[in-house]
Structure 1
Amino acid sequence: MSTRSMDPSLRQPTDMPTGLTIDQEVRKHIAISDCSSAGSAWRAAGTLSNPDSTSHTYDLTVFFTTLGATVVAHSSTRLTVGAGGSASWQGDVANKTHGPLSCVLTGVAQH
């Protein structure tokens, strides 16, 4: 059995959102096209399409994780998309750790 120490900079944030849900029907219309480190920030970005005949406001939450699935940050974004339209979205957080990361869409709500 191998044991490895966790990098002390990889601590789970204490301000993590709770009670997140994912509306699976809405999730089908969201794409993440960018998950990267850009200088002093991590960025998750993509597009959201609204196939409905009315405008909606959406709340998206992304967890930034290490490749070992440790959550190290999160970003919440709210956007409004017109009927039949699409929009770009982006969530940035301060980059406090180094190394590869993953962006996981963990919250999707339509209002």
Structure 2
Amino acid sequence: MRLALLTIGIVAAAAPAADRRTPAATPAGKPQSCIPRSGIRQTLVRDDRTIDFVTRGKRIYRNVLPQSCPSLGFERRFGYATSLSQLCSTDIITVLTTAPLMRGASCGLGQFQPVTLTR
């Protein structure tokens, strides 16, 4: 079995406070336990508990972590390790800090809720 490590997320440039709020979202289907890793195009870390996963098909899955993940909203990037082709609610993410680049808090994911963002 091969263990794959994939780091996703992008450090965002300083943005006005209004741009860093978590946008409202309307459920667009049933929550899912897993989503295919190969379909993830982008991640948007909204705050210490909320990550929006944008797929290649432009579908958005909001993942609200069961508990707050320290510094996730500040750093806005994370990594994970999995041997599966899917990212699941049983997986753990690890916050990546910037100065110096190192591992931060590790936190569990929640369910992947398909959503439509409302601005």
TM range (shorter): under 0.3
Structure 1 length normalisation: TM-score?
A: 0.27
Structure 2 length normalisation: TM-score?
A: 0.26
Quick check: which one's helix share is greater?
A: 2
